[in-house]
Amino acid sequence: DGGITQSPKYLFRKEGQNVTLSCEQNLNHDAMYWYRQDPGQGLRLIYYSQIVNDFQKGDIAEGYSVSREKKESFPLTVTSAQKNPTAFYLCASSIGAGGNQPQHFGDGTRLSIL
Partner 1 sequence: AQSVTQLGSHVSVSEGALVLLRCNYSSSVPPYLFWYVQYPNQGLQLLLKYTSAATLVKGINGFEAEFKKSETSFHLTKPSAHMSDAAEYFCAVSGGSNYKLTFGKGTLLTVNP
Residues lying near partner 1 in the complex (CB under 8 A) are found at: 4, 6, 31, 33, 40-43, 45, 48, 50, 90, 92, 94, 97-100, 102-108, 110
Q: Which of residues 84 and 100 has its CB atom nearest to partner 1 in the complex?
A: 100
Instruction: Please report the beta strands in the chain, taking only residues with DSSP state E, as ranges in sequence order.
Output: 4-7, 10-13, 19-25, 31-37, 43-51, 54-57, 64-66, 76-78, 87-94, 104-105, 109-113
Quick one: residue 14, left, alpha or beta (phi over 0 = left, psi -120 to 50 = alpha)?
beta
Work out how close the CB of 56 gets to partner 1 at its nearest, in angstroms, rounded to a whole number.
Answer: 9
Q: Which of residues 2 and 99 has its CB atom nearest to partner 1 in the complex?
A: 99
Work out how close the CB of 31 gets to partner 1 at its nearest, in angstroms, rounded to a whole number.
Answer: 7
Work out how close the CB of 54 gets to partner 1 at its nearest, in angstroms, rounded to a whole number.
Answer: 12
Q: How far apart are CA 33 and CA 19, in angstroms?
A: 18
Q: Which of residues 63 and 97 has its CB atom nearest to partner 1 in the complex?
A: 97
Q: Which of residues 3 and 17 has its CB atom nearest to partner 1 in the complex?
A: 3
Work out how close the CB of 71 gets to partner 1 at its nearest, in angstroms, rounded to a whole number.
Answer: 16
Nearest alpha-carbon partner for 19 in 7, 33, 5: 7
